[in-house]
Structures are given as C-alpha cells and as structure tokens.
Amino acid sequence: MGEATPSIHEFDFELICDYFANMERQGPGSPEATIKALSFVDHLTSASRIADVGCGTGGQTMVMAQQTPGQVVGVDLFPRFIERFNVNARQLNLQDRVTGIVGSMERLPFEEEGLDLIWSEGAIYNIGFERGLNEWRTFLKSGGYIAVSEATWFTAERPEEIDRFWREAYAEIDTIPNKVERLQKAGYIPIAAFVLPESCWTEHFYVPQVSAEKRFLEKHAGQQAAEALVANQRHEAQLYHRYKQFYGYAFYIGKKI
C-alpha cells in the first residue's frame, strides 16, 4: 500500500455528488436492514414526526416511509441529493408525507422535542457519533427513538493496516459494547444493536458502484481528481473484502429517557 489514499472528504463536493447521485444508496445498508431497525421502534402513528438525517437520495427513507405512518423529513447537505430525493418521493406517491430539504445535521431545522424518531443511516459519522447523539437528542420528544447505523469494530483487536485506515478516516469507530455505552451515556435506553449483513456492503453498495464508476469515468475522462476518487472507492472496497471479519456497520436503536 505505502502511499496514503486520500479520504473521501478531501474530494470536491461536486465530484462526490456526481459519483453518488445516481446510486440508490450512498452508504452500506439494505431495505431488509432498514425494516429490521424499524421493527424496534414502537408507537408510531400518522401524527408522528420523523427525520432522516443525512438522507442522501432517500433510498432508505422511502423504504422506511412505506413501512410506517407519519410525516418524514429528509435532511441532507447536498441539493442534488435532495432534488433526487423529492423526485423519488413523488414517483412512489409519497410526496404528501415525505419531503426532502437541504440542511445541515449540525443545525437541524426542527423544534426542540418535536420529533418521535430520528433516523440516520451511514451519516452520523459526519458530525461524530457522540456529538450527533447528544445534539440530536434535543429534538426528540421524551420516549422518542433514535436509529443510526455506524461503522463498528467487531473484535477488540485488528490488523494494523485496517486499524490505521479507520483511525485516519473516522477515529470514533468502536466496538459494539463501547457504542452501546455511548448511547446509554447520551441519555438513551439502548433498545437494540445489530450487525448489518455483508450483503449491505457488497450487493447493495460496492456492486452498484462498479457500473456507476464506469459511467462516471466516461463522463470525466482524463480528469485526475475523478480517477483518484474512483481509485479511492476501489481501495475501500478492497479493504472491506480483506478485513470484513474485523469491521462493518451496526445499527443502534435507542429510546430517549
């Protein structure tokens, strides 16, 4: 390896958007995992208010919304993802109760104690797990739920190469017991934690990227930054295949005390 690959965060926003905008998901996950996480959330009604933070183009939002009553607002920083989100909602005839808005997870546009559920798949790392749990809690009603998926170590120890990769990419990656403890310390009852199956990374994330990469490289032919971004994604996929017994994503569901 030797040469450090840049983290995805170092690429131009436009380029990242272009890479991901046509994909159903922008992070690991699956409809089955979304539905499973939702099964731990009780008491949702048509009056419930739900936010999906870092919703991307809304693949998981639409699955969630189709399985539950209530008003759902998706929030994402990138206007292009939100445009796509709202097209998706209309296509599924969900536009009356599912809306995407441009906004930041660092300044969520909700009332204090206004939400029954905060959802966030593969996105809380942008603000950090602990900070997100603490700050977003303000917007939840007491008894409201949070459900987030997050990068997780499966073992107490792991090979140096993958340890270093994650320390640089996202130092808050941690083991399940430590993440659950964080959840508890932030003022939630830990309701459930489960590991996302491998297919959430392969079939639902890395496999669709292969054809997306081809289109992306054709469109940005000769552009070094675009080639570097693809190389970066491929490197991540290779690391995943090599070290998947040591890390992955887990879903954490908590209930505000």
Shortest distance, position 157 Cβ to ligand SAH, whole Å: 28
By CB under 6 A, residue 86 contacts ligand SAH: no
Report the 10 Å Cβ neighbour count for 198.
15
* Of residues 107-126, those binding ligand SAH (CB under 6 A): 121-123, 126
CB contact at 8 A, 204 and 30: yes
Cα–chain-centroid distance for residue 46? Answer: 25
Residue type at position 230: V
> How far apart (Å, rounded) are the C-alpha atoms in residues 168 and 92?
39
By CB under 6 A, residue 77 contacts ligand SAH: yes
DSSP label at 125? G
Contacts of 128-136 with C-beta under 8 Å, sequence gap 24+, read 128/172, 129/172, 129/174, 129/179, 129/182, 130/172, 130/182, 130/186, 132/53, 132/105, 133/182, 133/183, 133/186, 133/188, 133/254, 134/186, 134/187, 135/106, 135/108, 136/53, 136/105, 136/108
* Of residues 187-226, those binding ligand SAH (CB under 6 A): none
If the CB atoms of residues 80 and 158 are measured against ligand SAH, the closer one turns out to be: 80
Residue of 32, 253, 63 lying closest to 140 (CA atoms): 253
By CB under 6 A, residue 29 contacts ligand SAH: yes
If the CB atoms of residues 136 and 153 are measured against ligand SAH, the closer one turns out to be: 136
By CB under 6 A, residue 59 contacts ligand SAH: yes
Shortest distance, position 78 Cβ to ligand SAH, whole Å: 4
Q: Dmax over Cα atoms in the chain, in whole Å?
A: 54
Instruction: Count the residues of the shown chain that bind ligand SAH, applying the rule CB under 6 A.
Output: 21
Piece of the chain touching ligand SAH by CB under 6 A; list 75-83, 191-199, 217-225, 227-235: 75-83
By CB under 6 A, residue 104 contacts ligand SAH: yes
Residue of 56, 89, 54, 59 lying closest to 71 (CA atoms): 89
Q: Which of 18, 76, 150, 236 binds ligand SAH (CB under 6 A)?
A: 76
Q: Which of 5, 60, 209, 233 binds ligand SAH (CB under 6 A)?
A: 60
Alpha carbon dihedral 108, 109, 110, 116, in 10-degree steps, equals -60
If the CB atoms of residues 25 and 137 are measured against ligand SAH, the closer one turns out to be: 25
Q: Which of 19, 81, 165, 240 binds ligand SAH (CB under 6 A)?
A: 81
By CB under 6 A, residue 105 contacts ligand SAH: yes
By CB under 6 A, residue 248 contacts ligand SAH: no
Shortest distance, position 253 Cβ to ligand SAH, whole Å: 16
Q: Which residues are at the interface with ligand SAH (CB under 6 A)?
A: 25-27, 29, 54-56, 59-60, 75-78, 81, 104-106, 121-123, 126
